[in-house]
Amino acid sequence: MLATSRSNGTRLISPRYWVQWVTETDQSDLKVLGYCVRDMDKFDKNIVFEHESKIVCDKIAGLLNEGER
Q: Where are the alpha helices (DSSP H) in 1-69?
A: 54-66
pTM of the model: 0.70
- 25 belongs to a structural domain: yes
CA distance 31 to 2: 29
In a domain, residue 51? The reply is yes
Does 40 reside within a domain?
yes
**Residue-number span of the structural domain to which 38 is assigned:** 17-66
For residues 1 and 14, the answer to whether their CB atoms sit within 8 Å is: yes
Domains contained in the chain, number:
1
**Using one digit for the tens of pLDDT, what is the confidence trace for 4-46?**
334 444 445 788 999 999 989 888 889 999 999 999 887 776 8
Distance CA 41, CA 23 (A): 22
